[in-house]
Structure 1
């Protein structure tokens, strides 16, 4: 028999855990839908029931407080059910890219000490190549998976955990993110840091952020009285911080999360979902999603059947290019507010660009967050209009630090003037009006459609090809994806009979698909500096010159 989300109260003396906060929101949400995907709807009571049963299965295999539960899934009910189940045990969910291959999976699962891995069936072959005795749960398999893998739906038939196994747990999540080393870094968000972000859904509505379960229930009811909890469509993958944080904020607000059924961007389905479920907020990945969405709106208008998007109050993107052109096209068609954020897995916010009308759109200009600064080499604030370049720093909600890397933690989270700041390395300046101009990360990492690609690991994959002696990988600007991955390879004569697609496929067999080069430049020798080091600026010039004659946008 299904238990109710409010069956056992949290003891008053314990500090509110993430699981407790979410359960309190579920109590106040009542019979409101928690998640919708296609024709299926899950209410808050069912979400809590399935998560409690999944928690029971995880606990039966030794998952408990402080354990890590890895999740390699597409946006789905199962993703959020697993997140909530981990919270109920005081365990820490960790996001795994569903595009990873076996070597990448082996590294991240060992690095995070994953006690369990909940993965999509598309990863099954790669998972079988990864050693370890962790619990493996597979989502979406049509046939019985090979032992020791357990079907996800069987796990949610387990006896439930009826309350948090670790009431008052200090744990939150581990967010895998890019860095400068060529391998993902785990950012540890404890309970306080994570709730600091999630409570922002109430601040945004002008309500005092709740500190106790009773206050959560009160704020959810107040939010409903102010016009209703949000209906959010996170198009950004939940494996990225932006999508995940918005989904969890929505659950804390007692709102509804909508998912599209397509695993790749289907712009028409997106707008049908907005129309059908009166979506109020959408989370996208800059122009990579914005351009196709604009094209779908325009096509529907030409066909005489424009979409009704009047319910949409906001669209949010973070950390990728969202051009003024695409913003203006969206604003011509709806009364929403466009929210372009500068934030990072390491903290934030650093800056924000709000646009409620076409007149508000300013290409490449942001408002510096009240909790942020731009610091020079002496940790002093740079001056507007001087051309000074500094690093962004934020005193907003922050994680504990990097997993297993105290030295890097000390470099990125620094105490300045008695205040702890996150300083991940993004460069910026201020124009004469005090507006923030983002200049990018100073480490050469390629950002393609929101995915970070480390040149060194693609180069290492390329030189394993028998015809490639040297390779240098760079990012080249692209109107849709922000940047695309381009490889400069040598020697050209040895590669005369090797097609570009063969080299790209060679990388794709070793790394995630988004890391494959979208263009190949063949040279007799890789450009080098007088000191013999690879000259990346020269390689980038070669790549840009190679692509300049092309007139079509790249496609992935």
Structure 2
């Protein structure tokens, strides 16, 4: 067995190399100001290098057990897809898998990562300052962001966006990225690549709908996505391992395979809204809403309704708070493109969406917030 040591996100970079080569203990990164959940501590198997704490949407902490081999396989496959190793800029917390993988890739590339100062939140000017030290080096340059960070860089349209456009690749993950956001970024010269994955797959393992080398994707009869390959975690600590079976990780996400073979992720199965007997995928409604220039962000949830079972509700963050979009117009757009049942019966204009983890919208908190607004 191997010792497991809780470390702050700032310490991960200092101790990661020893965790990967076996000369040091395995690491359990913690968020700033937080202690490691007691249920996740204690010795681990020798091959485990990292335990990533995640509560997902359940609120109960579980530890994803990641081997050094899986972490390296993910980093190597990423470099192969991007065109080779390069210098990385870290703009995400190293207690999340996306941040950890920036550090793993940097180690394999033999490059010291640049680090964005996020002590006062993510700021475009701080991103631009940190990017200079990376972009001044020869070779290829990469970074990884969540959609909310990209939204802020595009909205600022200053030095931060200019710096981002100079990178050879931007991995965009942590949460679903609306197609319109990706299109806007690419039009601004950003080499944006959408990623799909989770801590259980050492981060993103499907890039722009195409699995990384060695990764396999299949869909169940109900459309649930299953993933396999050398990037898979060794299981959970503090939770059932039922999702890991026969070399596959069975996710709670729904997807479809497009005619060109690419994977489209439709969202979590438990996020699906059933209104009047009709299934509504929130992600599809959100894409229509976010396509509007006066909508900065949007999230769609189901609220209890005595007649329909659930009511389709949308929270919209306006691009300009002084001139919010018309709820009637947005409702009509969704209805015209997706059908009447998908049109939100309720649209609330909000200043910001509640978040959990690296840029993921906290749908449960949002639903509670909308319910409380009615009281």
Query: Same-fold call, TM > 0.5?
Result: yes
- What's the counterpart of residue 340 of structure 1? 194
Q: Indicate whether 1:548 and 2:375 are aligned.
A: no
Q: Distance in 1 between matches of 2:75 and 2:163?
A: 30
Q: Indicate whether 1:112 and 2:46 are aligned.
A: no
Q: Distance in 2 between matches of 1:200 and 1:290?
A: 24
Q: Distance in 2 between matches of 1:83 and 1:369?
A: 24
1:173 shift after superposition: 0.6
Report if aligned partners of 1:241, 1:345 keep a CA contact under 8 Å in 2.
yes
- What's the counterpart of residue 330 of structure 1? 185
Q: Secondary structure at the match of 1:423?
A: strand
Q: Secondary structure at the match of 1:250?
A: helix
1:98 shift after superposition: 2.7
- What's the counterpart of residue 65 of structure 2? 188
- What's the counterpart of residue 380 of structure 1? none
Report if aligned partners of 1:250, 1:256 keep a CA contact under 8 Å in 2.
yes
- What's the counterpart of residue 268 of structure 1? 125
Change (3 A) 1:270 1:546: farther
1:435 shift after superposition: 2.9
Q: Indicate whether 1:80 and 2:13 are aligned.
A: yes
Equivalent residue for 1:256, pick from 104, 112, 122? 112
Report if aligned partners of 2:65, 2:236 keep a CA contact under 8 Å in 1.
yes
Alignment of 1:443-454 (within 5 A): 443-444=270-271
- What's the counterpart of residue 4 of structure 2? 68
- Bigger strand fraction: 2
String of CA shifts for 1:294-347, please: whole Å, max 9, x gaps. 122x2459xxxx94566411101224122333323332333x532211111112
Q: Distance in 2 between matches of 1:96 and 1:483?
A: 28
Q: Indicate whether 1:294 and 2:154 are aligned.
A: yes
String of CA shifts for 1:177-202, please: whole Å, max 9, x gaps. 23454212111112322232233355
Q: Distance in 2 between matches of 1:435 and 1:427?
A: 14
Q: Indicate whether 1:278 and 2:121 are aligned.
A: no
Report if aligned partners of 2:40, 2:238 keep a CA contact under 8 Å in 1.
no
Structure 1 unpaired stretches of 5+? 1-64, 116-167, 207-222, 224-228, 354-365, 378-387, 446-473, 489-525
1:485 shift after superposition: 9.1
- What's the counterpart of residue 27 of structure 1? none
Q: Distance in 2 between matches of 1:547 and 1:175?
A: 37
Report if aligned partners of 1:189, 1:400 keep a CA contact under 8 Å in 2.
yes
- What's the counterpart of residue 97 of structure 1? 31
Change (3 A) 1:72 1:114: farther
- What's the counterpart of residue 54 of structure 2? 177
Q: Distance in 1 between matches of 2:251 and 2:196?
A: 12
Change (3 A) 1:319 1:79: closer
Q: Secondary structure at the match of 2:349?
A: coil
String of CA shifts for 1:362-413, please: whole Å, max 9, x gaps. xxxx235563222324xxxxxxxxxx724232224222111144xx31x212
- What's the counterpart of residue 432 of structure 1? 259
Report if aligned partners of 1:175, 1:345 keep a CA contact under 8 Å in 2.
yes
String of CA shifts for 1:487-518, please: whole Å, max 9, x gaps. x8xxxxxxxxxxxxxxxxxxxxxxxxxxxxxx
What is the TM-score normalised by the length of structure 1? 0.47
Report if aligned partners of 1:275, 1:309 keep a CA contact under 8 Å in 2.
no
Q: Distance in 1 between matches of 2:212 and 2:171?
A: 16
Q: Distance in 1 between matches of 2:297 and 2:115?
A: 22
- What's the counterpart of residue 326 of structure 2? none
Q: Indicate whether 1:232 and 2:97 are aligned.
A: no
Change (3 A) 1:109 1:373: closer
Q: Distance in 2 between matches of 1:69 and 1:291?
A: 36
Q: Secondary structure at the match of 2:207?
A: strand
Alignment of 1:401-550 (within 5 A): 401-405=235-239, 408-409=240-241, 411-415=242-246, 420-444=247-271, 483=299, 527=305, 537-538=310-311, 541=313, 548-550=347-349
Structure 2 unpaired stretches of 5+? 273-281, 291-295, 317-343, 356-375
Q: Secondary structure at the match of 1:433?
A: coil
Q: Secondary structure at the match of 2:180?
A: helix
Q: Indicate whether 1:314 and 2:173 are aligned.
A: no
Q: Distance in 2 between matches of 1:283 and 1:542?
A: 28
Q: Distance in 2 between matches of 1:485 and 1:71?
A: 36
Q: Secondary structure at the match of 1:66?
A: coil
Considering only aligned residues, what root-mean-square deviation do their CA atoms show, in Å? 3.9
Alignment of 1:196-211 (within 5 A): 196-200=73-77, 203-204=80-81
Q: Secondary structure at the match of 1:199?
A: helix
Report if aligned partners of 1:234, 1:282 keep a CA contact under 8 Å in 2.
yes
What is the TM-score normalised by the length of structure 2? 0.67
Q: Indicate whether 1:372 and 2:372 are aligned.
A: no
Q: Distance in 2 between matches of 1:243 and 1:427?
A: 25
Greater gyration radius: 1
Q: Distance in 2 between matches of 1:84 and 1:369?
A: 24
